[in-house]
């Protein structure tokens, strides 16, 4: 046996194989020793390496009603919805500006004819919506026994602080009357300058004619005439049957839609005798040149001093932006809200005022002493 192994060792080929096996064994022993040392270090630091095999899960199908709160991934095609353009109507357009005709005459009040800017009417703008118990328009309470005749005389002042001690610059007279045995009314107003000014300043005449209906005054014709100046003469004719109003001036003639309740510069002040203030504080009014919406605010109850004595009043003021002329009314609470004081404040700070000095009505029991 020994001789056999000896003969094998002497063979060069077998000898190389044995040497290679010995070197391979030594190399593996070295690698195993190094791996063991690494495992010891991991054990000392308590580090664990964990590998798991995760199998793909089946994704459940969503029902059509399911709502996905996660955003969808972007696709190669993006569909954009077209923007919806708002529909334009006459209600969305800004309303044009118009000029106004003063209650007081120019000359006497100097620049009382300066422009203020009420808003031109459209057919739907003059209908005031008042919320009722079911969202319906509230019904106005109309005075069943208004005066049949009212005669008012005023002093006209141009002072910023009106006082009974001041000398008036002019005078005014307004007469309201229901024509006998008819359902028609007439209002006539005349304003005149005093002293030397009366020689150069013409009278301002205003008239309003119409009928009486269940809502009060319904004007049919209005006239504004400043002396014989045709450029300062305007008129309005109300065609209630066809719902149109015709405005006539020296240079032009216009026609507008006529809305229910429209008044003129005279009739609107005496309409409060039928429909008390605070019921309707937005009024559609024509001055013979244009038709405009006037918004009034209630300034409170006041007692004013007059040549008749103290009078309890409701103070109303027309809403106006800065720079516009402001119109104020004082309505006598004990005399069916007849106007007893009218004031216009110009943008230049000047004030023009009509203050009652005498009042006569057809009801002797209510006439002031």
pLDDT at 156: 95
Residue 366's pLDDT is 57
Sign of CA dihedral 188, 343, 332, 357: negative
Q: Residue 245: helix, strand or coil by DSSP?
A: strand
Write out the DSSP string of 111-169: STTS----EE--TTTT------TTSPPPPPPB-SS--SEEEEEEEEE--SS--TTSPPS
Q: What is the pLDDT of residue 143?
A: 93
E strand or H helix at 171: strand 170-178
CA distance 186 to 64: 76
What is the model's pLDDT at position 367?
60
CB atoms within 10 A of CB 7: 10
The reported pLDDT for the residue numbered 60 is: 46
Phi and psi at residue 166, in whole multiples of 5°? Answer: -75, 155
pTM score of the predicted model: 0.64
Print pLDDT tens along the chain (369 aa). 666 666 666 667 777 777 877 777 777 676 666 655 555 554 444 444 444 444 444 444 444 444 344 443 343 344 344 444 434 333 333 333 334 555 554 444 333 323 223 333 333 333 333 333 334 456 789 999 999 999 999 999 988 777 788 889 999 999 999 999 999 999 999 999 998 888 888 999 999 999 999 999 999 999 999 998 888 999 999 999 999 999 999 888 999 999 999 999 999 999 999 999 988 888 999 999 999 888 999 999 999 999 999 999 999 998 766 666 788 999 999 999 999 999 988 777 778 899 999 999 998 655 655
Query: What is the structure's pLDDT at 189?
Result: 97
Q: What is the Cα–Cα distance from 223 to 232, expressed in whole angstroms?
A: 11
pLDDT of 200 reads 87
| CB contact at 8 A, 157 and 166 | yes
What does the alpha-carbon distance between residue 122 and residue 90 come to, in Å, rounded to a whole number? 8
């Amino acid at each position: 046996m020994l001789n056999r192994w000896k003969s094998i060792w002497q063979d060069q080929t077998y000898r190389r194989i044995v040497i290679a096996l010995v070197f391979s064994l030594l190399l593996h022993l070295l690698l195993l020793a190094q791996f063991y040392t690494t495992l010891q270090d991991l054990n000392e630091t308590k580090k664990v390496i964990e590998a798991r095999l995760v199998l793909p899960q089946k994704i459940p199908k969503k029902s059509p009603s399911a709502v996905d709160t996660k955003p969808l991934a972007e696709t190669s095609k993006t569909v954009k919805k077209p923007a919806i353009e708002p529909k334009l109507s006459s209600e969305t357009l800004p309303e044009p500006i118009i000029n106004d005709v003063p209650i007081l005459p120019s000359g006497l009040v100097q620049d009382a004819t300066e422009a203020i800017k009420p808003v031109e009417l459209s057919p739907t703008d003059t209908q005031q919506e008042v919320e009722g118990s079911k969202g319906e328009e509230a019904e106005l309470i109309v005075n069943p026994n208004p005066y049949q005749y009212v005669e008012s005389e005023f002093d006209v002042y141009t002072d910023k602080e009106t006082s009974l001690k001041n000398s008036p610059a002019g005078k005014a007279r307004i007469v309201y009357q229901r024509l006998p045995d008819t359902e028609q009314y007439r209002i006539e107003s005349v304003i005149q300058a005093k002293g030397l000014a009366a020689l150069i300043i013409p009278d301002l005449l205003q008239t309003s004619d119409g009928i009486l209906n269940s809502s009060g005054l319904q004007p049919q014709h209005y006239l504004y005439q400043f002396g014989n100046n045709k450029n300062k003469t305007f008129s309005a004719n109300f065609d209630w049957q066809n719902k149109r109003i015709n405005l006539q001036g020296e240079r032009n003639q216009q026609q507008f839609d006529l809305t229910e309740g429209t008044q003129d510069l005279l009739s609107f002040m005496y309409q409060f005798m039928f429909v008390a203030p605070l019921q309707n504080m937005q009024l559609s009014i024509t001055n013979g040149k244009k038709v405009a919406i006037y918004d009034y605010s209630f300034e409170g109850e006041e007692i004013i001093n007059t040549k008749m004595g103290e009078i309890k009043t409701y103070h109303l003021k027309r809403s106006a932006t800065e720079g516009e002329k402001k119109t104020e009314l004082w309505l006598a609470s004990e005399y069916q809200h007849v106007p007893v004081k009218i004031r216009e404040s110009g943008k230049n700070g000047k004030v023009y005022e009509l203050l009652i000095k005498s009042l006569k009505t057809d009801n002797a029991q209510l006439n002031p002493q």
